[in-house]
Amino acid sequence: MKSKLFIKSSSLTYSIGSIFFLLIIGCSNQELNSNSFSEDTTSIHVISYETPSPSKEGKQVYDTIAHFPKEGEWRKILMIQRIKCDQATKRDKFPCGEWDYSTNTSIFINKNDSTEEQIEINSFVTPYGLRLNLTEDGWEYIWDVTDYAPILKGDQRIEHGNNQELHDLKFVFIKGKPSRNVLKVENIWPYGNYKYEDLALNTVLKSKKLPLLKEGKGFRLKARISGHGHFGPYNCCEWDEKIHSYRFSDESVINWNVWKDCGHNPIHPQGGTWQFDRAGWCPGTAIDTYDFEVVSQVENDSLTVDYQIEMFEENGEKDGNYLMSHQLITYGSANFKNDAAILEIITPNNALRYRRNLNINDGTPTIKVRNNGSQIIKNIQFKYGVKGKNNLKYTWYGSLNFLDEQTITLPQLSIKNLDSSVTFYVVIDAVNNNLDEQHLNNYAESIWDLPSYFPNEIILSIKTNDNNRATENSYIIIDNNNKIIKNRVEFPENTTFSDTLTLNPGIYTWIIKDQKQDGMIRHWWERNSNPDKVGINGEILFKNMVGDTIAAPTYDFADFYSLTFRVK
């Protein structure tokens, strides 16, 4: 039997921060100057913070008509969601709803029989609202929804979100030729909430033979799955990972594991158990989307696909459930041969999404690119640096097939004589030693907040947990060359200890880790069932030599927390 491993889509989620980051035009093989130009865009504002929070009765969702452009060619379509806490929300008495809830954004298409078909374009789980800080302007998410271009036309009914937070929702249509035209989007099976037992026994989501457009040249299956419920010994299906599969008529199979690492969740701290891994989702994040290119499974202008999941055990877990959407996207041929696209700047970047990344602001640029052209990319030439300060060059060598993505680390920047906040830029100058055919996706920039200055002598004071949890923690300090300056692997139990550090001028990153992904917060969730296991909170303080606090990292950090600083 032929098999194929999964690829989790990273193209759905872009950056959290200014939309300006994604709308910059850069020109290859031209000298950069101080001017930036926004691409020709159309913005459709569907919901604002002034839109009344949905009622506590009925569906409790925003339900409105979106007036999308009736025509146009769009290089990219972005959906921008902002949420914020406010007393105007109607879920409960808190500015942000206390619990985490599954929500989605769906377009409802009128069918010939006067009914509507729901097509989900994104799915999102709200964060726990207590102790939550979404900032005054709200937390911003940006998702690429270009795959849904055929249904984001004209007047369409849209349902979105719920009444946990206030929402602002807009769509940005960026003019230009896409990497390939989207010809059709369709549900394979209806979006819905499915019981694990029914899925495993194949009483639902049975094999389907899908007729394909003759003009279609590319085909993608798009799966969006989240597990819920607390059944069986492992609390299926929220806290239990399972293997999911697509099987095809040629006996090939695509397997993937629906499981999401929540320890790096940038929205923290939250009021609930936000830090622990779950089946496809974390509180305050989108549900993972998995994209699979399946042109090789096409037979005689049709695609036969069957969804399957690993069989349950007779321990009660079969009563868990999954929220699911399964879709088929049909494309035309690639519109470019030689086209590399910058998808995002991971570091340096002060956007909230990236604040859990290591080396977020130490001058090590990390970017993600994708091959949007039909030719294999063997090399990409970059220019990058700080606007108005320097202009460095780097050539990446490798092999990228059509639609493959690659995270690239560029040589480190010098941050001497830089202000506290600067603009970092990167531009693709050439691809395969030739001009890139699509220059509109060759440039990106981000705001870079440089590390704060610490004195050369500092005191690190740490109050540890009790209940034998201190052994879970360790910390390390490294310099700009990744040389270990300090490595403490033993924390004494239920004690406040201090390490005095004397450092030479340079850049340093401090990283604290927790082996069980629960940080140094007390186990408040044990207060009813096991009150003796609640314990105490830890505390972390950086101080100068006279005892003044210069930094106080959170103790509720899940699996790790990092802090970069400079010493003069």
The token duo for 347 is: 């570091």
CB 535 within 8 A of CB 496: no
Cα separation of 312 and 199, whole Å? 10
Pick from 137, 112, 260, 246: nearest CA to 188:
246
Residue pLDDT, tens place only, 114-133: 899 999 999 999 999 988 88
3-state helix, strand, coil in the chain (%, to 5): 5, 45, 50
The per-residue pLDDT for 22 is 44
| Torsion angles phi and psi, residue 471, rounded to 5 | -70, -15
The per-residue pLDDT for 7 is 42
pLDDT of 28 strictly over 80:
no
The per-residue pLDDT for 10 is 37
Cα separation of 330 and 181, whole Å? 9
Instruction: Say whether the peptide bond before residue 237 is cis (omega within 30 degrees of 0).
Output: yes
Pick from 448, 440, 408: nearest CA to 424:
448
Cα separation of 308 and 328, whole Å? 17
- Among 133-137, 210-214, 342-346, 392-396, the range scoring the smallest mean pLDDT is 133-137
CB 317 within 8 A of CB 236: yes
What is the SS3 assignment for 22? helix
Cα separation of 79 and 145, whole Å? 6
Length of the chain equals 568
The band of 111, judged by pLDDT with boundaries at 50, 70 and 90, is confident
Residue appearing with tokens 């995270």: 407
The per-residue pLDDT for 26 is 34
The band of 356, judged by pLDDT with boundaries at 50, 70 and 90, is confident
The per-residue pLDDT for 147 is 98
Helix (H) or strand (E) holding 396: strand 392-400
Residue pLDDT, tens place only, 228-278: 999 999 999 999 999 999 999 999 999 999 999 999 899 988 888 999 999
The band of 164, judged by pLDDT with boundaries at 50, 70 and 90, is very high
> Which residues contact residue 529 at a Cβ distance below 8 angstroms, ignoring those fewer than 6 apart?
none
CB 341 within 8 A of CB 256: no
- Average pLDDT over the chain, rounded to an integer: 91
CB 246 within 8 A of CB 253: yes
Number of Cβ atoms within 10 Å of the Cβ of 371: 25
Residue pLDDT, tens place only, 300-348: 999 999 999 999 999 999 999 999 999 999 999 999 999 999 999 999 9
Taking the CA atoms of the chain, what radius of gyration do you get in angstroms?
25
The per-residue pLDDT for 39 is 66
**Percent of the chain having pLDDT more than 70?**
93
The per-residue pLDDT for 355 is 83
CB 489 within 8 A of CB 524: no
The band of 360, judged by pLDDT with boundaries at 50, 70 and 90, is confident
Per-residue H/E/C for 171-199: EEEEECCCCEEEEEEEEEEEEEEEEHHHH
Q: Dihedral of CA 308/309/315/320: which sign?
A: negative
Provide DSSP, 63-106. EEEEE--SS--EEEEEEEEEEE--TT--SSSSSS-SS--EEEEE
Residue 4 exposed, middle or buried by CB count within 10 Å (0-12, 13-18, 19+): middle
The per-residue pLDDT for 59 is 87
pLDDT of 12 strictly over 90:
no
Residue 414 exposed, middle or buried by CB count within 10 Å (0-12, 13-18, 19+): middle
Pick from 452, 481, 265, 445: nearest CA to 353:
265
Cα separation of 261 and 243, whole Å? 16
The per-residue pLDDT for 14 is 33
Task: State the DSSP code for 323.
Answer: E
CB 184 within 8 A of CB 329: yes
The per-residue pLDDT for 103 is 95
Which amino acid makes up residue 32? Answer: L
The band of 366, judged by pLDDT with boundaries at 50, 70 and 90, is very high
The band of 156, judged by pLDDT with boundaries at 50, 70 and 90, is very high
Which amino acid makes up residue 367? Answer: I
Q: Dihedral of CA 293/299/303/305: which sign?
A: negative
The per-residue pLDDT for 123 is 97
Strand partners, 542: 460, 551
Residue pLDDT, tens place only, 29-70: 333 332 333 568 999 999 999 999 998 888 899 999 999 999
The per-residue pLDDT for 17 is 34
Cα separation of 126 and 123, whole Å? 10
Q: Which residue has the higher pLDDT, 553 or 357?
A: 553
The per-residue pLDDT for 56 is 85
The per-residue pLDDT for 37 is 36
The per-residue pLDDT for 42 is 96
pLDDT of 21 strictly over 80:
no
pLDDT of 553 strictly over 90:
yes
The per-residue pLDDT for 38 is 52
The per-residue pLDDT for 343 is 95
Pick from 43, 33, 272: nearest CA to 152:
43
Q: Which residue has the higher pLDDT, 214 or 113?
A: 214
The band of 13, judged by pLDDT with boundaries at 50, 70 and 90, is very low
The per-residue pLDDT for 269 is 86
pLDDT of 566 strictly over 80:
yes
The band of 4, judged by pLDDT with boundaries at 50, 70 and 90, is very low
Residue pLDDT, tens place only, 480-536: 888 999 999 999 999 999 999 999 999 999 999 999 999 999 999 999 999 999 999
Residue pLDDT, tens place only, 450-489: 999 999 999 999 999 999 999 999 999 999 888 999 999 9
The per-residue pLDDT for 546 is 96
